[in-house]
Amino acid sequence: MVDTRILSDKQKLGATGAELGAAAIRQAIAQKGKASIIVATGASQFELLQNLVAAEDIDWSKVTAFHLDEYVGMDITHPASFRKYLQERFIAPLGGKVMFYPVNAEIDPQAEAQRLSKMIAEHDIDVCFAGIGENCHLAFNDPPADFDTDEPYIVVTLDEACRKQQMGEGWFPSLEAVPQQAISMSIRQILKSRLIILSVPDERKSQAVKDALEGQVDPRFPASIVQSHSQTILLLDPDSASRLA
DSSP designation for 7: -
Sheet containing strand 99-101, strands side by side? 3-6, 232-236, 195-200, 127-130, 35-39, 63-67, 99-101
pLDDT of residue 203: 97
pLDDT of residue 1: 83
* C-alpha span between 138 and 119 (Å, rounded): 21
- pLDDT band (50, 70, 90) for residue 6: very high
Q: Please, are residues 239 and 134 in contact by the beta-carbon 8 Å criterion?
A: no
Question: Is 62 in a helix, a strand, or coil?
Answer: helix
Query: Residues 162-211: pLDDT tens digits?
Result: 999 999 999 999 999 999 999 999 999 999 999 999 999 999 999 999 99
Cis peptide before 201 (omega within 30 of 0): no
Give the count of beta carbons closer than 10 Å to the beta carbon of residue 21.
25
Query: Residues 80-117: pLDDT tens digits?
Result: 999 999 999 999 999 999 999 999 999 999 999 999 99
Average pLDDT over residues 212-226: 97
Average pLDDT over residues 71-77: 95
> Is the model's pLDDT at 231 over the cut of 90?
yes
> Is the model's pLDDT at 222 over the cut of 90?
yes
| Ramachandran angles phi, psi of 142, nearest 5° | -75, 160
| Mean pLDDT of all residues belonging to the chain | 97
pLDDT of residue 225: 98
- pTM metric for this prediction: 0.96
| Ramachandran angles phi, psi of 111, nearest 5° | -65, -40
Torsion of CA 184, 73, 170, 180, to 10 degrees: -70
Among 172, 153, 156, smallest CA distance to 164 is for 172
- pLDDT band (50, 70, 90) for residue 151: very high
* C-alpha span between 201 and 214 (Å, rounded): 18
Give the count of beta carbons closer than 10 Å to the beta carbon of residue 194.
16
Q: Please, are residues 197 and 20 in contact by the beta-carbon 8 Å criterion?
A: yes
